[in-house]
A and B are shown apart, each in its own frame.
Chain A
Amino acid sequence: MTNGTAKLGTWAGAALLAVAIVLPFVVYPVFVMKALCFALFACAFNLLIGYVGLLSFGHAAYFGIGSYVTAYTVKAWALPPELGILLGTAVAALLGVVFGWLAIRRSGIYFAMVTLALAQMVYFYALQSPWTGGEDGIQAVPRGHLLGIFDLNEPLVMYFFVLGIFLLGFFIIHRTIHSPFGNVLKAIRENEPRAISLGYKTDQYKLLAFVLSAALSGLAGSTKSLVFQLASLTDVYWTMSGEVVLMTLVGGLGTVFGPVVGAFIVITMENYLARYGSWVTVIQGIVFVLCVLAFRRGVVGEIIAFVQRRTVRAPGAATPAHAPGE
């Protein structure tokens, strides 16, 4: 990573935080909360694809189970919201342990297919179990009072609660990437046999990254269920897994801010295109195609590449397409 991009990263982070604090006063808060939940989800997903090189096509499972567990415990057992979210995250992490243990034996497209298959089973379970409410989902989930003090029914209180959760998740991911653990992950992505020959038990590292990613996806799902007061089959369906891939791709695979930017772009698109009705899928498809053909590095990846071209004019600084640096 060059000095220029590091500085850019810090500045961008500070600017984004400032925007995040002002945003709910300018834009409709629920919309920003939705985008933040998906941004966290995309960041968690990016941890796997961007830093371990594993494309999961079944992340909806963790997002969805987190969403269902939180919605159910908060509504049926009247748990306080913080406990409900904790429980949702824990169950998602547990699911991540089981699925991850099975899936990390495979790589590439087979890994994607195993995760898809496992996620479809979770979908089937959610459809069949009585406690998930079938296609009606769990509706009218109460938001409750955070720690018994803050009334989450106030849009702004809820907003800063969601922002706090997002920042916590983002911080965990950031620390992970820049820890020695994160460096081993990147080594595995670049050359797994070499990492093994250096004495690393790569499977353990991959599993740990997988569980972390699953847990944070669950956290995002749990928070989402409180924001919308709803957990539904949409959260566990395979299209949700596809959506998170789209967000990460649009923003930039393997970049810190890419998934956040990607999530905001996709959510904004869905939100404002909704009134164009049936043209939404056509426009989404065109965005997909354009991204793959022209902006493979994603929005943030392209910006980083641009800055790098400007600051480092030395040749050979080009980054591989799938990992434009951090």
Chain B
Amino acid sequence: MFELLGIPPQALFGQLLIGLINGAFYAMLSLGLAVIFGLLNIINFTHGAQYMMGAFVAWFLLNSALGLNYWWALLIAPIVVGITGIVIERLLLKRIYKLDHLYGLLLTFGLALVIEGLFRNYYGSTGLPYSIPPQLAGGHNLGFMFLPNYRAWVIVFSLAVCLGTWFVIERTSLGATLRAATENPTLVQAFGINVPRLITVTYGFGVGLAALAGVLAAPIYQVSPLMGSQIIIVVFAVVVIGGMGSIMGAIVSGFGLGVIEGLTKVFYPEASNTVIFVIMAIVLLVRPAGLFGRAR
């Protein structure tokens, strides 16, 4: 039996798979960020808070009088959080489109603080319990590792969502309109398309993706007001590495960085939170627009 750097290959397979699963979360979150940045030119710092809201909505639904389970949450949470996103866009974001990126970043950062603060005031900081749906409980022994069914579901589901989004934006006429609106909103407007509404809906969609990731995360991570702020900085790095606004870039670098982070956890666990930043610095210095980005 050969070993790679002291780690048996079976263990390495397991770690790679785990990395891919974490990458699925990064991919879904950075996908939403990339869609929003692509069309609105806003770096949505509220994304982490909206991810957290998704998990909380799932918790509410389960504990409300209706007792709606995980599968309902998967459908309802993105819609509910998406609507709050639309309200935010209509009330606040649309006022700052003409300004420097910096202001969008600062405004959404402020919003994130408000949302997280409010949740913390009402639900404390320790978090709330949320169980894995019974249909997905348990797991399979793959020989090289024990794979919980839920993790397998996460990876399949998020891949489907990511590729679906990519398909809609890159391969359909709706997507073509969207992309055209990013390049030249005035011209698209002249064709009789309501660009402001398109922007609003896009923001709602991006936010909905964050909430969907939140529901996916609820059964395995803590449903806590702090869950968003812990992940958002990493997801930013993922988006930047992939290339701001690039859909495919966000997906590929999301999964890729998940794997790299997973390997770091084996060989140098202390650095696993920092490795993404090292990669970000290197990528930006070598390829300024990110791996998949076009220079604007």
- A positions within 8 Å CB-CB of B: 55, 102, 105-106, 108-110, 113-114, 116-118, 120-121, 123-124, 128, 238, 242, 245-246, 249, 278-282, 284-289, 291-293, 296, 321-322
Contacts and interface: CB of A to CB of B under 8 A. Distances in A.
B293 to A, nearest CB: 10
B223 interface: no
Contacts of B92: 289, 293
Nearest to B270: A128
A251 B285 CA distance: 32
A304 B86 CA distance: 36
B113 A288 contact: yes
B193 to A, nearest CB: 28
B109 to A, nearest CB: 6
Contacts of B263: none
A285 B114 contact: yes
Most buried by B among A110, A242, A279: A110
Contact of B110 (A120, A278, A289): A289
Given A116-B277, A292-B107, A293-B107, 9 more contacts: A110-B284, A114-B280, A124-B271, A278-B121, A279-B121, A281-B114, A288-B109, A289-B92, A292-B103
Contact of A106 (B116, B117, B237, B288): B288
A121 B117 contact: no
Interface in B248-271: 270-271
Nearest to B244: A109
Interface in B142-196: none
B4 interface: no
A121 B233 contact: no
A113 B285 contact: no
B281 A118 contact: yes
Contacts, number: 104
B233 A238 contact: yes
A296 B96 CA distance: 10
24 contacts: A106-B284, A109-B244, A110-B240, A110-B284, A113-B280, A113-B284, A117-B284, A121-B281, A242-B109, A278-B117, A278-B120, A281-B113, A281-B114, A282-B114, A284-B110, A285-B110, A285-B114, A285-B115, A289-B114, A293-B92, A293-B95, A296-B99, A296-B103, A322-B100
A117 B277 contact: yes
A120 B277 CA distance: 7
B106 A288 contact: yes
B5 interface: no
B29 to A, nearest CB: 16
Nearest to B236: A113
A155 B139 CA distance: 64
The 3 residue pairs across chains A and B that have the minimum distance between CB atoms: A288-B110, A285-B113, A282-B117
* Most A C-beta atoms less than 10 A away, residue of B101, B102, B115, B273: B102
A132 B97 CA distance: 43
Contacts of A292: 96, 103, 106-107, 110
Interface residues of B, number: 40
A102 B281 contact: yes
Nearest to B99: A321
A273 to B, nearest CB: 11
Interface of B: 43, 92, 95-96, 99-103, 106-107, 109-118, 120-121, 233, 236-237, 240, 244, 270-271, 273-274, 277-278, 280-281, 284-285, 288-289
Most chain B CB neighbours (cut-off 10 Å) among A128, A238, A289:
A289
Given A113-B237, A292-B106, A293-B95, A121 B277 contact: yes
A289 B45 CA distance: 12
Contacts of A296: 99, 103
Contacts of B121: 278-279, 282
A290 to B, nearest CB: 8
A286 B96 contact: no
A55 B244 CA distance: 17
B103 to A, nearest CB: 5
Nearest to B102: A55
Contacts of B273: 124
A286 B116 CA distance: 12
Contact of A117 (B96, B101, B109, B237): B237
Contact of B113 (A102, A109, A282, A291): A282
A247 to B, nearest CB: 12
Contacts of A118: 281
Given A278-B117, A278-B120, A288-B113, A121 B278 contact: yes
Nearest to B101: A109
Contacts of A286: 110, 114
B284 A114 contact: yes
Contacts of B288: 105-106, 110
Contacts of A281: 113-114, 116-117, 120
Contact of A114 (B113, B116, B285): B285
Nearest to B120: A278
B40 to A, nearest CB: 14
Contacts of B244: 109
